[in-house]
Amino acid sequence: MKKNTHPTYHQNAKVKCACGNQFTVGSTKPEINVEICYSCHPFYTGKAKVMDIAGRVEKFKARTEKKNAKPVRKKIEKKTRKKIAKTNKK
């Protein structure tokens, strides 16, 4: 095996966030600067916003309502309709 192929591992690497939060993790870099962390990310803080682009949610709801609005036909009703249609053709 070749020697010195792997970078050095820093057990207590400092992570600095743009919000001012600092914590330590294990990394190959001694210091890491990030823009967003667990304390300021909207998903983890509970301030997440759902972006509805071009009314996709409304379109989906309209499709499901349209689908559910059709009455469910039973097999017996379908068979009788077919029989009636056949007798009308003759």
61 in a domain, yes or no?
Answer: yes
Residue 16: predicted pLDDT: 96
Whether the CA torsion 62, 64, 68, 74 is positive or negative: it is positive
Mean pLDDT of 12-20: 94
φ/ψ of 4, rounded to 5, equals: 60, 35
Mean pLDDT of 6-16: 94
Q: What is the CATH number of the domain that holds 33?
A: 4.10.80.400
Question: How do residues 24-65 score in pLDDT, each as one tens digit?
Answer: 999 999 999 999 888 888 877 777 776 666 778 888 888 888
20 in a domain, yes or no?
Answer: yes
80 in a domain, yes or no?
Answer: yes
pLDDT band, residue 90 (cuts 50/70/90):
low
Find which of 40-44, 67-71, 73-77 is predicted with most confidence, using mean pLDDT: 40-44
Residues 55 and 38 sit within 8 Å (Cβ to Cβ): no
1 in a domain, yes or no?
Answer: no
The overall pTM is greater than 0.95: no
Residue 23: predicted pLDDT: 95
